[in-house]
Amino acid sequence: MIPGQIQQALSAFFQQQQHADFQILSSRPLGGGSINEVHLLITTLGSFCLKYNNNASFPKMFETEARGLELLSGAGAIRVPKVIFQDDLSDYSFILLEFINSANQTNTFFKDFAHSLARLHRSKSELYGLDYNNYMGSLSQNNCYHTDWVDFFVEERLDKQVKLALHKGLLDQSGERLFEKLYLRLSELLPEEPACLVHGDLWSGNFIVSENGKACLIDPAVYYGNREVDLAMSTLFGGFSPEFYNSYDEEYPLIPGWKERLDLYNLYPLLIHLNLFGSSYLGSILSILRRF
């Protein structure tokens, strides 16, 4: 059952915006609801995706999701769900999105996906970061602007999660020293490229195959960073088709050695998982650190 407070807000929105009566005819849970409640709404005005949570649990989560989706959409490179309405109520926060009907992948799905992502990455910024903070999963993601990529990656990505893991007792001082040793080498390991718009959480659970058989991105953790972070994240938890990486490199050639750098970038999502889900991720983190 969708909370009455949200139903009332949706009804008032559609009455004001479209002068139309909005009623929910049926709803059912959708996958991906580990952080939020996610539902398909069948209504008198069509089908929508509704995501909501307790207003106090994750402040501005849906506000920043809406801004992130709109930023990705504005690049005109790849489809994202249209944001219909977002609001923060006394008890709940929610976002109402276009519902994307899923279909089978086309034969050129990963090739087309790669080309679209490469075009997204051609959206540039003079600075690394973003003018607001957002979320990576259920953890706050700091996006303070930096002029240097390595500084941004260390200060706004790795070190904040390292300190959180230390506070939680998930990482000890020997692990911290391995990170500090790595920080000193990152300028020689990570080449500089102009900051580009990245999805930020690009794994296989964060795209939908839309009704035309092509990729639609969801659940962004956007900022302007190094494009290799998206490619790196895509290799976790199963990875994408080899055709994806070959097609990306054809569309927007990568700096040689990019495959060897992916594990470095994946330290960030692995630290996120360590802090969210516990010590089962520590071995992978230490294995990467010891190689560098």
Q: Do the Cβ atoms of 194 and 152 come closer than 8 Å?
A: no
Q: How far is CA 222 from CA 50, 72, 85, 212, in A?
A: 21, 8, 19, 25
Distance between CA atoms of residues 155 and 153, nearest Å: 6
The angle formed by the CA atoms of residues 133, 125 and 68, to the nearest 5 degrees, is: 40
Amino acid found at 290: R
Q: How many residues does the chain have?
A: 292
- The residue from 88, 148, 151, 201 that is catalytic is 201
Q: Do the Cβ atoms of 94 and 51 come closer than 8 Å?
A: yes
Is residue 159 part of the annotated active site? The answer reads: no
β-pairing, 207-209 vs 195-198, is unpaired
DSSP 237: G
Backbone φ and ψ of 290, nearest 5° = -70, -20
Distance between CA atoms of residues 186 and 266, nearest Å: 14
Residues assigned a catalytic role: 201
